[in-house]
């Protein structure tokens, strides 16, 4: 899910999925566990696939075209042994190891550099974004990072022609519309256009124990969620003691959403947008 431009100290997400109902409002144990398990990571983008994540363990991670590298980037634009990333107590450093095309960091060629969360790294045709291990790094462009697939060097763009050949034109059009909805629909904070979340086809949870924090009394745990029911996004109320409304009408259990709906959880209002 994607989020940007808001007070990131308010971001909270579960360490495991699904999130259980009734998470305590202040849980030092779960937070400490989260800090132990959190790892810095790379978000890897290429023309071959959607965004994928690669976690960086302590010590050295080599990257290049060779299969023997810890992170294999299979393209001739990448040297066999291109560079390495060092994760240590002093921070995370990226180094070029005499590659032919070099490494660009935020558009500038570098030999060695200390990474900061949000840095953009270009290695050949591969574009990567470095994220640290802080709570503010749990989202990348509004998408929950844990929902991104693990990086796979063998990922390719498959031809869907055989799978869609038997569909009628109406069914194919409906399938395309639903795929577009999964990809583009988002919840935007009504008071801040720069802050939004993409639920995609996974649950987006609200409350102090969820992915999206909300204001108001009695909002501990996961008080509401938005999920994909196979055809559309639906908002569900999980806690009877918390107000959940769509267009100022109370939601008793669940309600399908349409473009432009105003969704209120507690005292926080979101706008559901599909474009």
**How far apart are the two ends of the chain, measured CA to CA in Å?**
16
Give the integer Cα–Cα distance in Å for 18 and 157: 29
- Pairing, β 59-64 against β 71-72: parallel
Tell me what the pLDDT averaged over the chain comes to. Answer: 79
Q: What is the pLDDT of residues 208-264, one digit of tens each?
A: 999 999 999 888 899 999 999 888 999 999 999 999 999 999 998 899 999 999 999
- For residue 161, what pLDDT is reported? 41
- For residue 176, what pLDDT is reported? 63
Query: Residue ranges of the alpha helices (H) in the chain?
Result: 28-37, 161-164, 169-184
Higher pLDDT, 246 or 10: 246
Predicted structure pTM score: 0.51
Domains along the chain? Answer: 41-155 (2.60.200.20), 180-274 (2.60.200.20)
**227 neighbors 257 (Cβ within 8 angstroms):** no
Q: What is the pLDDT of residues 90-117, one digit of tens each?
A: 999 999 998 988 899 988 889 999 999 9
Q: What is the pLDDT of residues 176-201, one digit of tens each?
A: 678 778 878 999 999 998 888 988 88
Q: What is the pLDDT of residues 135-172, one digit of tens each?
A: 778 877 767 788 788 888 876 333 334 343 344 556 65
- Dihedral sign, Cα of residue 239, residue 240, residue 243, residue 249: positive
| Helix/strand/coil for 238 | coil
178: Cβ contacts below 8 Å, ≥ 6 apart: 231, 232
- For residue 48, what pLDDT is reported? 46
């Amino acid at each position: 899910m994607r989020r940007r431009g808001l007070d990131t100290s308010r971001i909270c997400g579960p360490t495991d999925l699904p999130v259980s109902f009734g998470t305590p409002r202040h849980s030092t144990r779960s937070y400490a566990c989260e800090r132990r398990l959190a790892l810095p990571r790379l978000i890897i983008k290429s023309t071959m696939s959607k965004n994928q994540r690669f976690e960086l363990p302590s010590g050295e991670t080599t990257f290049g075209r060779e299969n023997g590298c810890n992170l294999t980037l299979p393209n001739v634009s990448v040297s066999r042994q291109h560079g390495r990333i060092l994760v240590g107590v002093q921070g995370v450093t990226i180094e070029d190891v005499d590659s032919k095309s070099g490494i660009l960091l935020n558009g500038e060629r570098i030999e060695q550099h200390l990474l900061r969360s949000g840095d953009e790294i270009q290695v050949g045709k591969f574009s990567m974004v470095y994220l640290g291990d802080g709570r503010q790094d749990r989202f990348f462009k509004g998408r929950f990072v844990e929902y991104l697939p693990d990086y796979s060097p063998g990922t390719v763009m498959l031809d869907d022609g055989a799978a869609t050949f038997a569909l009628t034109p109406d069914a194919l059009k409906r399938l395309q519309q639903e795929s577009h909805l999964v990809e583009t629909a988002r919840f935007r904070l009504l008071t801040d256009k720069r802050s939004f979340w993409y639920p995609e086809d996974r649950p987006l949870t609200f409350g102090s124990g969820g992915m999206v924090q909300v204001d108001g009394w009695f909002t501990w745990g996961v008080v509401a969620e938005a999920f994909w029911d196979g055809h559309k996004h639906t908002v569900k109320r999980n806690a009877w003691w918390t107000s959940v409304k769509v267009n100022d009408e109370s939601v008793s259990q669940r309600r399908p959403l349409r473009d432009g709906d105003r969704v209120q959880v507690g005292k926080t209002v979101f706008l559901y947008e599909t474009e």
